[in-house]
Structure 1
């Protein structure tokens, strides 16, 4: 089955006038390292085609030279014309790999660029402290079944959307935007729950946000929303995205 599918994919690649590659290296939870190579091209019927060509183990160091060897091997194995365009993240080893493999042009992933910018912004001390306060409140309601029940009651009493608070994930910057967005949506219920007798009597570590904190959270969310929207648009798999980078940037 693998050999048949491989021949079918190679036949499609031969019909393409230009094939672009994307690649990334990653480490499995068992500390085993791999490199994945994906091919993208526009078919004769003007549809975007994308194939994951291979995922190969790379026990050696993820240097640019070693990744370049994987890329060159993939180009030869799959019959891809030499010097294909390449999209990677912005890591320095990927720039070296693209140069040594002769991939031209080499384009840094725009979504990864946005991610780096957003992560840098979230590390600003005032923003980081604000996120920490919100995170503690969200974690409290996630840990305590009693508090979660009180929050649900307050949400219903205030006729707010019956949503749950969202906990951010450190590896996904847009989850911070999601956390702030949901927190602000439910903030009246969160305040009512935290100041209720049931919680005040047993909880001394989690406090409500001040009006200044709420105002700052709204400003942070206003900054993050356009970036989150752009990232969502870039996640499409049915249309090329490189042509919309400049409009999105503007």
Structure 2
């Protein structure tokens, strides 16, 4: 079509975007980030190692600072493949390289990480002030409390019921039917996640909201066959 409209027009190829457009965008963005970082008096860095769904390991470093207008600013400095093991020495090298590359040494950067032993060692080797992530510390404290026998047993039962309704289409339909009959919101049950302590609260809160519908659904004929343990739990209580 373009050849017919304008034979002299050359359609941009993949190589054109790879070699010219994307590098130009990167250079422009990098210049803006470097300009913003130069205006910062102090900088905090967050460093986190993670694994993609393709089981590829990466490390992301983000810079945070307060600008002259007292607005919080954050910039992802790099997300790079980490083929070596995530030892403290390797992570320290990644940190130092990023600080040198972005000329942040004079900003006296503090590094915020989780409580993983390798991250603590990395920051110690790099010689930067270390701040442990408050959210991670809070999660560890709450998870320890959630492991108390009585609490863990209660959460385990609720978690098993929630998982049952997520995996069984018959149970899910029974739950919707009873929600409509009882005039309850058509909300799905929530299953907690270990890395988020507040997800346990969300799971319990949603379960209490839907408890009449859940109980009625579990006592229905189709669910009695699929989830017979519910009656055993009721008799024990």
Q: Does 1:188 align with 2:209?
A: no
Of the structure 1 ranges 171-180 and 86-95, higher mean CA displacement relative to structure 2 is found in 171-180
Deviant stretches of 4+, over 6 Å: none
Change (3 A) 1:202 1:32: closer
* 8 A Cα contact 1:33 1:58, kept in partner: yes
Q: Does 1:63 align with 2:87?
A: yes
Cα offset, 1:132, TM superposition: 2.0
Give the RMSD, CA atoms, in angstroms. Answer: 2.2
Quick one: distance in 2 between partners of 1:28 and 1:203?
35
Quick one: distance in 2 between partners of 1:207 and 1:14?
66
Quick one: distance in 1 between partners of 2:120 and 2:226?
55
1:63-103 C-alpha deviation (Å, 9 max, x unpaired): 11111111111111111134411111112222221122121
* 8 A Cα contact 1:42 1:49, kept in partner: yes
Change (3 A) 1:90 1:126: same
Quick one: distance in 2 between partners of 1:188 and 1:168?
20
Change (3 A) 1:179 1:212: farther
Question: Which of 55, 63, 77 lines up with 1:31 in the alignment?
Answer: 55
Unpaired runs of 5+ residues, structure 2, are 1-24
Cα offset, 1:181, TM superposition: 1.1
Scaled by the length of structure 1, the TM-score of the pair is 0.76
Aligned length: 212
SS at match of 1:103: coil
Q: Give the structure with higher Rg (CA).
A: 2
Unpaired runs of 5+ residues, structure 1, are 214-250
Matches within 5 A, 1:109-148: 109-148=133-172
1:143-171 C-alpha deviation (Å, 9 max, x unpaired): 23222222222222222222111123344
* 8 A Cα contact 1:137 1:207, kept in partner: no
Matches within 5 A, 1:233-244: none
* 8 A Cα contact 2:139 2:195, kept in partner: no
Question: Which of 151, 154, 177 lines up with 2:201 in the alignment?
Answer: 177
Scaled by the length of structure 2, the TM-score of the pair is 0.80
Q: Does 1:10 align with 2:57?
A: no
Q: Which has the higher contact order (CA 8 A, sep 6+)?
A: 1
Change (3 A) 1:147 1:46: same
